[in-house]
Amino acid sequence: MAFRVAAVVGWLLCVTALFLVPWIEPREAELTWPELGVPMWWATAAVLTAQAVVLWFASRGPVKALSLVVAVSLPLASLGTWDLYSLTSLPTAIGVYVVVLSAEYRRLRFILPTVVIVSAGAYTVAGRPGEDLAALTVQAMVQAAALVAIPAAVAAVVRARRDVRSAGAREHDALMREQEARVESAVARERTALARELHDIAAHHMSGIALMAAAIERQIDAAPAKAKGGARAIGDQSRLVLEDLRRLVGLLREGDQAEMSVYTLSTIPELVDGSAADVELQVHRGRWPELGTGIGPLGQLVAYRMVQESLANAVRHAPSAPCAVVIDDREEAALEVRVHNAPSSSAPTARAPGFGLRGMAERAELVGATLAYGPSLDGGWDVELRVPREATSVEEVRP
């Protein structure tokens, strides 16, 4: 589109000059310009129009277009004068600009020197009568070289800047694709780790069920009441196992079967003590006998990982900022864990996006928990996890 605008503007300028110069040319001027309406005037207008038409379609083949623009002007050089032929310089310069901006670099090595040589010859042929041939030749070569060099230099700068922007965009796209691949890989590793730990938890439940079943077998005749209680406990354990196994569906496991530790709410103080951040821990206990009563092993693991990732993100994005970890175990329906970091007073140590928030969301979804995060009112960052309690465990401790 820009090439076509340049072609139209160039044609308008040249035709305007062709109209106006005969009116404003003084009689003593050295310009050799035809009168309006004479055959040479119409021939010049036709050449300029033909050049504009060629430039209109230059985007389809810039090298061919430049060749045609120069070729169309040659008859005018043999029939006209230096002044008339100079009008064709503007379309030629536009053609050079288009070629340098669009054509392959290897093709420029041939077309640009050819245009310089042909234009210099045409200027020489169209030289002013009575002028020294040597001086005319030098002047023609200088004008032809400038005719090609100036638009070529401008186009080269524009093309270089465009190539830099294009390379930057491609690099950005490649980095984004790499980042997405790393995120997917990190999520897959998290899923594998959760699957492995779920397997260990389920195995623990099944061992308990087996022990309780053996006890029921011995008690069923001697102590029927205890046997019934054991049967109810087996039912509760079975439901817990089934819930955990449902969450396991869809998780992929890697070949590495190395054992991993199961972290719980009780290990969060140790995590806080070992953090590189300045962390204040607050634990609000409820009426439960133990911290996190009614929160299964998987839910406690998710809470632990949330605190771990949040503190790591705080160190990464807000170094030296104080942090606060709050474990609120007072509500009957759910446990809440909140991590807040104040705004940083120094530059972050790392600026690349990570996987922490995405991993937290994946883990929270697995256990039916809700995760919320975002900037805080003081300019810092808040992360809040709400883990629902298991109804059976709450019923057991309710007075």
Give the model's pLDDT for residue 280. 93
Q: Are residue 301 and residue 229 in the same domain, yes or no?
A: no
Is the residue at 257 inside a domain? Answer: no
Query: Which of 138, 169, 200 is the C-terminal boundary of a domain?
Result: 169
What does residue 260 show for φ and ψ, rounded to 5 degrees?
Answer: -125, 145
Is 156 found in the same domain as 22? yes
Please indicate, yes or no, if residue 258 is contained in any of the structural domains: no
Buried b (16+ CB within 10 A) or exposed e, 121-145: bbbbbbbeeeeeeeebeebbbeebe
Same domain, 160 and 65: yes
In which order are the strands placed within the sheet that holds 370-375? 279-284, 323-328, 334-341, 381-388, 370-375
Same domain, 117 and 29: yes
**Residues spanned by the domain of 306:** 265-397
176 within domain boundaries: no
The helix (H) or strand (E) run that includes residue 386 is: strand 381-388
138 and 241, same domain (yes or no): no
Identify whether residues 21 and 163 lie together within a single domain: yes
Q: What CATH number should be reported for the domain holding residue 373?
A: 3.30.565.10
pLDDT digits (tens, 9 = 90+) for 74-87: 887 777 566 677 77
Q: Are residues 276 and 335 in the same domain?
A: yes
Q: What is the pLDDT of residue 340?
A: 95
Judged by phi (left if over 0) then psi (alpha if -120 to 50, else beta), residue 320 lies in: left
Cα R_g (the chain), whole angstroms? 41
Within a domain: 338 = yes
Identify whether the C-beta of residue 56 lies closer than 8 Å to the C-beta of residue 10: no
Q: Which residue numbers in the chain have pLDDT < 70?
A: 1-3, 20-38, 80-83, 128-131, 190, 193-208, 211, 237, 239-262, 276, 346-356, 391-399
**163 and 17 in a common domain:** yes
Q: Global pTM?
A: 0.45
Can you tell me the distance from the alpha carbon of 334 to that of 4, in angstroms, rounded to the nearest whole number? 68
Q: Which amino acid is at 146?
A: A
Mean pLDDT (the chain, rounded): 77
Write the CB contacts of 286 (distance below 8 Å, at least 6 apart in sequence): 293, 329, 330, 331, 332
Q: Is residue 92 part of a domain?
A: yes
- The answer to the question of residue 305 being in a domain is yes
Tell whether 59 is covered by a domain: yes
Among 265, 269, 319, which Cα is nearest to 297's? 265
CB-facing half-sphere around the CA of 172: CA atoms within 13 A: 6
Name the token pair of 12: 């308008």
Q: What pLDDT score was predicted for residue 388?
A: 92
Which residue, 169, 200, 225, sits at the end of a domain? Answer: 169
Per-residue model confidence as pLDDT tens digits over 261-270: 457 898 899 8
Question: Is 177 a domain residue?
Answer: no
In this structure, are 121 and 8 located in the same domain? yes
Per-residue pLDDT, 283 = 94
pLDDT of residue 382: 94
Domain count, the chain: 3
